[in-house]
């Protein structure tokens, strides 16, 4: 058998083996409901502000804001000099 | 002023605070700032939800400052906030303050792929029995795969970085690349040969051509586990 035949045979065995198994019940945990947002994404509170408010405050970028305080600071020591 | 002109001027006034805005009355001009900031904040908050790993890596303050620059420079293309942020990975790749974190753009790609997969259209997967009926013509079949299915390849350990923010450990080696297969709410690190196989299927090549694409990367490529995965996860939605 050449390589192509072996690949096809292997693919066929996989398909037939899967077909021989009893049909799996759809995993309830993976069922999706339309219109349902990810956790935390669907309530007004997630917006963090009242819909009416949030006036005035300047949102202009400031250099000091670009200091990472997240987990990438843990990775910093692993980075080689580029 | 007709309705279209009024809308156009209003839209411009949102992006350009200093332009004249005759579309609304003088008495309510001051409220434009509130309106403008709410738009910016809603878009930035949508980015936070779509990019949880990038958010965790950079921290809240950095992320929100970056999100603000992104939303200012990138027009929204949809009224659906779930589609906000489709260009953030590209943005991060050229944004000066993120250059210190060369893996970040690829992590953003993975975040976005997971986000897209979550909201992709539903399709019922074909049962293995239907494919088995075609066993004799398997070689020439084209498999149409679920739209949630994506492959992200990176020279950085992006899946490990993602896992780290979902309870996993810190990656051991930051310089070990990972190729990730993403589907609805799940992902798996895959080798280069299965990746070539899946990519060929996505490009609508025949099963035989896809098998050979996998074997071209690794002569020892065994398609059994890749096909089993597609069937078990119901990721084949039609045959052609």
Query: What's the pLDDT at A21?
Result: 79
pLDDT of residue B3: 92
Domain assignments of chain B as residue spans, ordered by start: 1-100, 102-240
User: What pLDDT, on a 0 to 100 scale, did the predictor assign at position B31?
Assistant: 84
User: Are A56 and B59 inside 8 Å of each other by CB?
Assistant: no
Average pLDDT over residues B183-187: 94
Whether the predicted pLDDT of B119 surpasses 80? yes
Minimal CA separation from B161 to chain A, in Å: 10
Residue A41's pLDDT is what? 54
Terminal alpha carbon distance of chain A = 49
- Name which residue leads in pLDDT, A38 or B133: B133
| % of chain B residues with pLDDT over 90 | 79
Q: String of b and e for B150-161 (b: at least 16 CB within 10 Å)?
A: bbbebebbbbbb
Q: Which residue has the higher pLDDT, B16 or B81?
A: B81
Predicted confidence at residue B176, as pLDDT, reads 95
Compute the distance between CA of residue B197 and CA of residue B215 in angstroms, rounded to an integer. Answer: 8
Average pLDDT over residues A65-77: 87
Contacts of A78 in chain B (CB under 8 A): 174
Q: Does B66 touch chain A (CB under 8 A)?
A: yes
What is this structure's pTM?
A: 0.86
* Closest CA relative to residue B49, chosen from B8, B91, B80: B80
Determine the pLDDT at residue A33. Answer: 44
CA–CA distance, B205 with B154 (Å, rounded to integer): 24
Over residues A9-53, the pLDDT tens digits come to 999 889 988 888 775 544 544 444 444 445 545 444 444 444 444
Tokens of residue B15, six digits: 């992006």
Tens-place pLDDT, residues B8-51: 888 888 888 777 778 788 888 888 888 888 888 999 999 999 99
Res B177 pLDDT > 60: yes
- What number of other Cβ atoms are within 10 A of residue B213's Cβ? 20
Of B156 and A38, the structure prediction assigns the larger pLDDT to: B156
Cβ distance of A19 and B66 shorter than 8 Å? no
CB contact under 8 Å between B61 and A65, yes or no, is: yes
pLDDT of residue A24: 57
Contact B102 A82 (CB under 8 A): yes
């Amino acid at each position: 058998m050449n390589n192509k035949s072996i690949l096809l045979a292997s693919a066929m065995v996989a398909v037939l083996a899967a077909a021989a198994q009893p049909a799996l019940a759809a995993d309830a945990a993976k069922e999706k409901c339309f219109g349902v947002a990810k956790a935390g994404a669907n309530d007004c509170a997630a917006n963090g502000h009242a819909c009416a408010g949030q006036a005035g405050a300047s949102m202009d970028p400031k250099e000091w804001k670009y200091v990472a305080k997240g987990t990438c600071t843990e990775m910093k020591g692993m980075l080689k000099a580029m | 002023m007709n309705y279209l002109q009024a809308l156009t001027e209003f839209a411009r006034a949102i992006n350009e605070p200093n332009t004249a805005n005759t579309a609304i009355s003088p008495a309510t001009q001051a409220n434009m700032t509130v309106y403008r900031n709410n738009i910016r904040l809603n878009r930035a908050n949508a980015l936070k939800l779509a990019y949880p790993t990038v958010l965790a890596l950079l921290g809240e303050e950095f992320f929100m400052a970056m999100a603000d620059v992104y939303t200012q420079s990138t027009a929204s293309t949809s009224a659906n906030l779930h589609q906000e942020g489709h260009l953030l990975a590209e943005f991060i790749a050229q944004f000066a303050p993120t250059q210190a974190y060369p893996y970040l753009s690829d992590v953003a790609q993975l975040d976005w792929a997971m986000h897209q997969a979550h909201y992709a259209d539903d399709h019922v997967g074909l049962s293995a029995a239907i494919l088995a009926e075609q066993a004799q013509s398997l070689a020439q079949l084209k498999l149409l795969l679920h739209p949630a299915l994506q492959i992200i390849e990176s020279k950085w350990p992006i899946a490990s970085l993602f896992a780290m923010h979902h309870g996993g450990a810190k990656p051991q080696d930051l310089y070990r690349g990972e190729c990730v297969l993403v589907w609805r709410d799940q992902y798996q690190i895959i080798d280069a040969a299965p990746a070539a196989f899946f990519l060929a299927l996505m490009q609508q090549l025949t099963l035989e051509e896809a098998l050979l694409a996998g074997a071209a990367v690794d002569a020892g490529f065994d398609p059994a586990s890749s096909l089993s995965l597609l069937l078990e996860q119901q990721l084949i939605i039609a045959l052609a």
